Amino acid sequence: MSILSIEPMETIEPTSILIADKGTIKINREQLSLIQTPLGTRTHKPIAHIQVVKALIETLGFRNIAVVNDEYAVSYNGMRMFGLLDLSLGFDGCRFSIGIRNGNDKSLRLALTIGYKVFVCSNMAFAGDFTPLLAKHTSNFSLEEALAIGVDKIQRNFEPLQRQIESWRNLQLSDIEAKSIIYAAFIEGELEAPKSLINMVHSLYFDPIYPEFLPRSFWSLSNAFTSAFKDLNPNSQFEATAKLGDFLSKYCK
């Protein structure tokens, strides 16, 4: 079945974070299972997107971690997939999540990253960039073993990520400091994100939509960035969000 024949998923919640554009389509897990996987070769073994997702959910289940919500965005030819799985574990105002990507056209390596979802605004954030799993899509690649190692690494980072967010909430910024970080991100090009977002990030920080982000804190600034990223297509949103954690970490030591 061609991806073009799959009806896009109806967006029910206004806070949905994966935004499809003309090059991608937003779908749910059931629709993901309809996407055909290309034939493999001696050196390249494509892995069905739904197989990756089911194996990840099973791996989490072995550790008594449930997935409470998940959504996906795929390219129109069905070759590339990004997904976000919200987990049953969380802390004050946030829920841990896992970002996943998979590519069957050799453009993306199967990779995971730890993240979190902010309850009040459904902002998606990652602690760092996507980390490719142990091997490429080769004939001797074990999906289950690779996911087990990847999930173990993510689990070990739950507590450090929670501590980081708590420190961001307590770190107050002067207006000059906030403006300098925004300037460094977009004007000096320290963050891999479209420069066109600079005004939106500035506005979301200095005139926030949600009362929770009224404090002039590092936490509020990080959410100004992730809120602005919602205007990007899924591919760009995931990539910019994955780069944000490392960028911000330079300014909160």
Q: How far apart are CA 178 and CA 165, in angstroms?
A: 17
pLDDT of residue 220: 98
Q: Tell me: do 131 and 186 sit in the same domain.
A: no
pLDDT of residue 11: 36
Count Cα neighbours of 24 within 13 Å in the Cβ-side half-sphere.
20
Confidence (pTM): 0.82
Q: Tell me: do 87 and 207 sit in the same domain.
A: no
Report how far Cα 71 is from the mean position of its chain's Cα atoms: 11
Q: What are phi and psi of 168, to 5 degrees?
A: -65, -40
Q: What are phi and psi of 81, to 5 degrees?
A: -135, 135
Which mean pLDDT values do the consecutive 10-residue runs of the chain (253 residues) have? 44 37 74 84 82 97 96 86 93 93 83 90 82 65 90 94 95 98 98 97 97 97 96 84 91 81
Q: Please count the structural domains in the chain.
A: 2
Q: Tell me: do 82 and 200 sit in the same domain.
A: no
CB atoms within 10 A of CB 138: 11
Q: Tell me: do 44 and 151 sit in the same domain.
A: yes
Q: How far apart are CA 187 and CA 87, in angstroms?
A: 36
Q: Tell me: do 138 and 232 sit in the same domain.
A: no
Q: Tell me: do 170 and 126 sit in the same domain.
A: no
Q: Tell me: do 87 and 35 sit in the same domain.
A: yes
Q: Tell me: do 37 and 132 sit in the same domain.
A: yes
- 181 and 221 Cβ atoms separated by less than 8 Å: yes
pLDDT of residue 88: 96
Q: Tell me: do 187 and 152 sit in the same domain.
A: no
Select from 139, 156, 173 the last residue of a domain: 156
Query: Largest Cα–Cα distance in the chain?
Result: 58
Q: Tell me: do 130 and 43 sit in the same domain.
A: yes
Reported as a single tens digit per residue, the pLDDT across 61-88 is 999 999 999 989 888 888 889 899 999 9
pLDDT of residue 104: 85
Q: Which residue range forms the structural domain that includes residue 91?
A: 3-156
pLDDT of residue 108: 78
Structural tokens at position 170: 């307590």
Select from 138, 156, 174 the last residue of a domain: 156
pLDDT of residue 103: 86
Select from 134, 156, 178 the last residue of a domain: 156
pLDDT of residue 228: 97
